[in-house]
Copies of this chain bind each other. A is one copy, B any other.
Amino acid sequence: MRGTLYGIGLGPGDPELITLKAARLIEEASVIAYPTLAGGDSFARAIAQDLIPIGAREIRMDVPMTTERAPAQAAYDTGAAEIATALEAGEDVVCLCEGDPFFYGSFMYLHARLAEKFTVEIIPGVTSVTACAARAAMPLAARNERLTVLPGPLPEDELRSRIEGAESVVIMKVGRHLPKLRAVIDGLGLTDQATYVERASLPEERVLPLAQAPEKAPYFSMILITKGADPWL
Interface residue ranges, A against B (CB under 8 Å): 9, 11-12, 14-21, 23-24, 69, 73, 100-105, 108-109, 111-113, 115, 120, 122-127, 130-131, 133-135, 137-151, 153-154, 162, 165, 201, 229-230, 232-233
A140 & B19 in contact (Cβ 8 Å cutoff): no
CA distance A17 to B22 in the complex (A): 8
Contact of A9 among B20, B108, B130, B138 (CB under 8 A): B130
B151 & A134 in contact (Cβ 8 Å cutoff): no
Tell me which of A126, A138, A141, A201 has the highest count of chain B C-beta atoms within 10 A of its own C-beta.
A126
B150 & A102 in contact (Cβ 8 Å cutoff): no
A125 & B115 in contact (Cβ 8 Å cutoff): no
Contacts of A115 in B (CB 8 A): 137
CA distance A167 to B129 in the complex (A): 18
A142 & B104 in contact (Cβ 8 Å cutoff): yes
CA distance A220 to B131 in the complex (A): 22
B134 & A162 in contact (Cβ 8 Å cutoff): no
Contact of A103 among B69, B133, B137, B201 (CB under 8 A): B133
Contacts of A146 in B (CB 8 A): 148-151, 154, 162
Closest to A99 in B: B130
> Given A12-B124, A100-B130, A149-B149, 4 other A-B contacts at CB below 8 A?
A104-B142, A115-B137, A144-B153, A147-B149
